[in-house]
Amino acid sequence: MDIFEMMKEHGHEQIIFNFDKETGIKTIIAIHDSTLGQTFGGVRMVNYASMEEALRDAMRLSRAMTYKCAAAEEDRGGAKAVIWGDPEKDKNESYLRAFGRFVEMLKGRFMTGPDLNLTMKDGSIMARECQYIVGRSREEGGSGSSGITTAYGIYVGLKACAKFLWGDEGLKGKKIAVQGLGAVGGPLLSHLIEAGMEVTATDINEKILQRFHKQYGLKILKSDLIYEADCDIFCPCAVGGILNDQTIPKLKCKCVAGCANNQLEDEERHGKMLQDRRILYAPDFIINAGGVIQVIDEIKGYNPDRLRLKADLIYNRLLHIFEMARQEKILPMEAAIRYAESRIREIHKIKRLYVPK
């Protein structure tokens, strides 16, 4: 593995490996592009099979954060941190505070908050050692769970998908299959039910699945059958890489739109497979930007009204990208990347202007 070649290929500026022998924490911070300003991205804790797997995850997600921030018109660069460990066994106070210290060492170049397998409480512990931790509870002056805003952004994006496909943003009577009922998929359900959609869902946690089934009366399926659900929209809200050679042929939908990051195992090949099957793909970093918008808004000083207005912009942004893809005869993901990169290029032009500190 030539890490420098990987960085060159994907445009990364910096990869930082951190290890603390006392707590045993192993963490990687990947900084992709700081053109737009201070880099931002969540920290997740996963028991990866290898260092290579952890590194690839950090690099892939940090690149997506660059595009997500740029497309959302936020003046932040993209980065990501991963902690390589078992969240059930390894996580404790000293472990989390050690991570906070590693982030503090970067002196604001990187700002982060709790992501997969980490909670707001964990973020609060990290913040005892670091002033660059966001996504904290409202009791502590933060904005609370970003999953709620992400869910709202997904709902707004679903209306844009319906408008592009069927000429009407109304979702009443449309069938949707939701994969994953966690921090985003769960809150999303209320929007879907209120809109009059017919919901089928799955989750690896049977208790969560049964709770939402009882609450909403939705149809439930086993995890491996969700790809074959008869639906208009397939909504991935769990792990990434789920759209691949094995799953795409099973899909019976007209659209894929959900909150999971990096849904396409291979951006170009699997994006083309979806297009060949006439399935519209809503680029993940566009439709799931609500959480990032919320956390960056928290940095400025959390304002719920401003946040809702900014999340509403996902609707027009998606329609613009779909139309761009149609006119230029390219994949929606390629159009989304071009959209984000155009903003980065424009801001890069003014970086030559010296501003005294």
Crossing angle of helices 304-328 and 290-300, rounded to 10°: 140
Residue 78 phi, psi dihedral angles, 5° rounding: -105, 135
Crossing angle of helices 206-216 and 185-194, rounded to 10°: 20
Q: How far apart are the first and last CA of the chain?
A: 40
Q: How many of the other CB atoms lie within 10 Å of CB of 278?
A: 7
Tell me which H or E stretch contains 123.
Answer: helix 120-126
Q: Are residues 257 and 278 in contact, defined by beta-carbon separation less than 8 angstroms?
A: no
User: Which residues participate in catalysis according to the annotation?
Assistant: 80
Q: Are residues 27 and 81 in contact, defined by beta-carbon separation less than 8 angstroms?
A: yes
Count of residues making up the chain: 357
Helix (H, G, I), strand (E, B) or coil at 270: helix
Tell me which H or E stretch contains 348.
Answer: helix 332-350
Q: What is the DSSP string of 131-169?
A: S-B----GGGTS---THHHHHHHHHHHHHHHHHHHHS--
Helix (H, G, I), strand (E, B) or coil at 177: strand
